[in-house]
Amino acid sequence: MSDQNHETMSIDPNVDPYGYLGMVRNSDGSITRLQKPLVPIDTSNDLSHLVVTKDITINSSKNTWARIILPRELLHSTTSTPKLPLVIYFHGGGFIVATVDSPSFQGLYASIASEVPAVVVSIEYRQAPEHRLPAAYDDCMEALHWIKNKPDELLSNHADFSKCFLMGTSAGGNVVYHVGLCAAESCDNLKPLEIKGLILNQPFFGGSERTQSEVRLANDKVLPPIISDIMWDLGLPEGANRDHEYSNPMVGIESNPNLLDQVKLLGWKMLVTGCDGDPLIDRQVDLVNVLKELGVQVEGSFTQGFYHGSEIIDPLKAKEFSLLVKELISHF
């Protein structure tokens, strides 16, 4: 590890939040990106040998693309194998950092693909503040229409388009929620893609008023509220606060009590995961409770300890999460 990398990883987000994110805030409010922020990676259980990957452009004008990940054994099987469920994954990073290619996500892709097993397609979307929300939602919705046309033989040969699940971690979980709502309203236009469920892994939500878990974990070393605030400040539409519906799902539900009707009508299942070492847990639990009250088929899986993003850092947590996903998918 270089001295520069070591220095970046040791930055306290509560002391130098912009440095922690690999950027500098300029006097005019703009930012300058210095380098990609680093997440410590545990390579002791590398699963890359279990999968095959392929990158394909979605929209060159937006520089959006996708990575297809599938079990290696599929391509080496000497017998005919059934098609696998299709998991469309949206990565995290608070809408402002990280990409499909970030090392921290590769282990989770491989774990999902090999443990479920499934064909995983991870979507690269545009980042804020250069492209504020709803750009990420628009890009991911465009990706669904791109996938439905089976743009590659790996998808047409090995993915079961009738068993599709949208999954995302952190900001990607937020994307799953909003893109899922949009997809539910236009499901006929997405065929032969048939979405069966939405999987929100430690979803990134916010609000102007601090929750108890945000107060309790105000000095968290992974995602303290000060970092979330910056992410929302850079990610939301100009002039919006954290009670915008993009960040606070309760606002959207309160303004439109029928918002989830189509999700219920389609019979989609939802899984929301979290842990009490994550400042965001109260928002995640509240969302599950409200969705249950609305009659949505939703399950919350919340554990003690750990931290935000544990599934993309800890291989054992990645496997544990993959088995949760496998259990959900097995019902279809």
Given 170, 213, 247, 322, the catalytic residue: 170
**Mean pLDDT on 37-52:** 66
**Which residues, 6 or more positions from 199, have their beta carbon under 8 angstroms from its beta carbon?**
87, 165, 166, 167, 168, 173, 176, 270, 271, 273, 325, 328
pLDDT for res 40: 54
| pLDDT score of 41 more than 60 | no
The SS3 assignment for 3 reads helix
- What percentage of the chain carries pLDDT values higher than 90? 86
Longest dimension (CA), the chain: 63
**Is 308 annotated in the active site?**
yes
Out of 24-38, 183-197, 279-293, least confident range:
24-38
Residue 170 known to be catalytic: yes
C-alpha distances out from residue 301 to 168, 195, 274, 285, Å: 15, 21, 6, 9
pLDDT of residue 250: 97
Q: Which of 139, 247, 308, 322 is catalytic?
A: 308
Instruction: Look up residue 107 and give its DSSP letter.
Output: H
What proportion of the chain, given as a percentage, has pLDDT over 70?
A: 93
Q: What is the pLDDT of residue 78?
A: 62
> Residue 74's pLDDT band (boundaries 50, 70, 90)?
confident
Per-residue pLDDT reduced to its tens digit, 283-303: 999 999 999 999 999 999 999
Residue 261 confidence (pLDDT) above 70: yes
Give residue 81's pLDDT.
Answer: 82
Over residues 57-84, the mean pLDDT reads 90
pLDDT for residue 206 is more than 90: yes
Q: Is the dihedral of CA 15, 19, 23, 27 positive or negative?
A: positive
Q: What are the tens digits of pLDDT across the range 182-193?
A: 999 999 999 999
Write down the catalytic residue from 278, 282, 310, 322: 278
278 belongs to the catalytic site: yes
pLDDT at 6: 34
* pTM greater than the 0.85 cutoff: yes
